[in-house]
Structure 1
């Protein structure tokens, strides 16, 4: 072969080799790109909870790290594997059957020998009982609720009975439980269901249309009373789930809450949804408590990643889960309350025998403690001295009740009874209490139609004049009842020291 031919052959051979190698290179590039895309996709689809793996080789048992809310969004469909799900269901239900507390609103579905379900109560009555109990249990301890629940069901055993009650009757029954808006929603919901002539709603979507029923209450009623396979998520359930999966996300964040609902939905036992949901709540209430969890007795401790982490690292504790959320600081305000007694006698020494009556005022239908009864009061943003407090009370009595001493009434006595602090969920209120005894001028036979009620006066303020026995029977809030107890004790102490000269009567400001 000539030199030129050899060169041509070499060039031809190199080109042929390149052409043959090109598809393999293209495949390797394609495969590498595909693997990189799979990795990116996998990372994107990983749940963004701070979750520790029990069996993973790269397990890090450090104290939970704070994650930004936007980083907590993820696909959590596979967080509970099938095997874990089955174990958790079986363990919790077995434990619940043996250890559930005996509570008046709690019923379960029993099975006869031939496997047919036998319900202890009719579904609607059961749903009503679950509804009442769940509403009462919001923000209230179980032991406190038991007595209230029993008295409520004795007075209004069915939805139809409750629908015929008045708001005042309901508030009287609710007195002392607090958060009175809950009672109003129960009454409004009962009236709505009965008015529509429909059966008790049995699905979450239908239940959500009833006033005051949110996702949690709807899930509880639907699963416990109607065996709907739906989850419930409350504070107890969040705590159990957070520890099972070692989730260190903010439990109050909206995205996190949604993810907890998805987790709970994965676990619900399809054959016993109501009992399973109650077992989760029971576990959180009795063993998996916020501060002192009893992990030794926990039926799902073998599946608990928080417990696993704590055993592998002394710096980690089960109580690290879920993240502690700092509560908003309570605001301070002040209130001056005047217990106004209308006396039939002008003689101060005869007050105890004068059959005097006390003035009660109904609060507005909206806002804090809506529609409840109280003594005349003025709420302040800042503290005021005695003179200013009395001036504000006098203005209120004159404007709302035409009580204007000495023009149409005389002040028999006006004394400072004391003060105390009452805590609402978001308010710390300092309350000053006084006793103001008045004698109306003119007719003493019909107090309600003298001064306080004039036919030509349009007054939207609702009020009552009641004797002490009637006041004691009223459904008053704990703060109002505290005020009245202070006044009663003050009067008793005064009468027991009747030999002591009476204090000089203060002038009405």
Structure 2
């Protein structure tokens, strides 16, 4: 900043074009850096940052399973595959959560060729709980593409970008970490570190700003140890250079941090002011009625070991939670009362399964279990949950053979196996609610019997 410049926010023509999604959150005034396009690291800064950060990383890096895979020449394909899987899993997911998923995945599909033989249903089941299922669909498609093209794992950014689902970040991560290519990577952690190193207050979501972050990361990447350096930069952002409570005292590159320098000069400036925070898109509120349909075995239903099956419906192959299994449900236009929800569910069961609750089956019980909220990145879904227990009339099996298979895909799942299935976290929330309800009901049966005996 030039001497004497006022400490105020200047709105540039570019910033006026920012959409509502990325508008800045009002906060106290902080000194602005120069135009981001003119910012760069000097040669001395670059050398100091590389040396200090790599030394810190060698001493403090976390022991993670994808880092243990050898980078030897005969292990290059396996290393590339492991980095790919880990990076896709780590997108918008905590490291602590990913570790167990990664281990299970690699045990089941240890190489790219093993994964290419898997089905979408298999990978969805393995992925269940990680969210953002579009990522795993692209991972599977990409694996099949590589094998179909000869099976040799691509090593350069340009080759990797040709694979379905691999973008700028993932290609840079694989090329540098697995194949020692001197290319940068930029994720949220890297943006945070660089924005503080250079006190960049430009909107981090703006396209021009993002491009500049890639340029700056490219200046920093170490040509001899690019993979380690990129991991060190991300590791620093994930641990010491955190969003709201940065550990500047232990930071290996604090001497080069302009944001820290500014914070020492003025009490109104804090390191956590960088990068500039932007308003997230407002979540859309949606509502759905979920019917957990349990079918009792009519010949055993009176015994203590009654068997039962549940109906699961497969979601469409495109869109939110594509290809995953869920309980029968229907989206509602708005919040609805119990009668309206049941009418909607009845119509859905009739039209989708030819299941007429009045004629073909007898309702054993139908209970309103409650409601729960499941949050996606852009949707807040409120689910109204009911448990609908059915058994056939006259000891006849429920016949769904008339079902038009092209309109909906469904299956029976035994109650014993449902709990171990790979269900999405939203569906698992619903199932947990039902199980708790059943346990509560079961616990009250002796008490109800006791009260009945006293009245008699």
CA distance in 1, matches of 2:163, 2:292: 38
C-alpha RMSD over aligned residues: 2.3
Q: Corresponding residue for 1:69?
A: 14
| Matches for 1:383-422 after TM superposition, within 5 Å | 383-422=335-374
Q: Does 1:451 pair with 2:395?
A: no
Change (3 A) 1:74 1:240: closer
Q: CA deviation at 1:93?
A: 0.8
**Contact 2:309-2:412 at 8 Å conserved across structures:** yes
Change (3 A) 1:127 1:59: farther
Q: CA deviation at 1:63?
A: 6.8
SS where residue 105 of structure 1 aligns? helix
Q: CA deviation at 1:454?
A: 2.8
Q: Corresponding residue for 1:496?
A: 443
SS where residue 122 of structure 1 aligns? helix
Q: CA deviation at 1:440?
A: 2.7
**Contact 1:64-1:320 at 8 Å conserved across structures:** no
Q: Does 1:486 pair with 2:433?
A: yes
TM-score (norm 1): 0.80
Between structure 1 and structure 2, the one with the greater Rg is 1
Q: Does 1:256 pair with 2:204?
A: no
CA distance in 1, matches of 2:121, 2:151: 26
**Contact 1:360-1:376 at 8 Å conserved across structures:** yes
Unpaired segments ≥5 residues, structure 1: 1-51, 110-117, 502-509
Change (3 A) 1:385 1:344: same
CA distance in 2, matches of 1:356, 1:338: 15
Q: Deviations over 1:322-351 (max 9, x none)?
A: 101111121211111100011222897x27
Q: Corresponding residue for 2:19?
A: none
SS where residue 197 of structure 1 aligns? coil
Q: Does 1:306 pair with 2:259?
A: yes
Q: Corresponding residue for 2:55?
A: 94
Q: CA deviation at 1:467?
A: 1.2
- The one of 428, 435, 447 aligned to 2:380: 428
435-444 or 157-166, which moves further after superposition? 435-444
Q: Corresponding residue for 1:474?
A: 421
Q: CA deviation at 1:437?
A: 1.2
**Contact 1:79-1:263 at 8 Å conserved across structures:** yes
CA distance in 1, matches of 2:76, 2:182: 16
Q: Corresponding residue for 2:222?
A: 269
CA distance in 2, matches of 1:276, 1:129: 18
Q: Corresponding residue for 2:27?
A: none
Q: Deviations over 1:176-216 (max 9, x none)?
A: 11111111111111111111214111111111121211110
SS where residue 313 of structure 2 aligns? strand
TM-score (norm 2): 0.89
Moved over 6 A (4+): 71-74
CA distance in 2, matches of 1:105, 1:265: 24
Q: Corresponding residue for 2:188?
A: 235
SS where residue 279 of structure 1 aligns? helix
423-432 or 124-133, which moves further after superposition? 423-432
CA distance in 1, matches of 2:118, 2:210: 36
CA distance in 2, matches of 1:347, 1:469: 15
Change (3 A) 1:187 1:352: farther
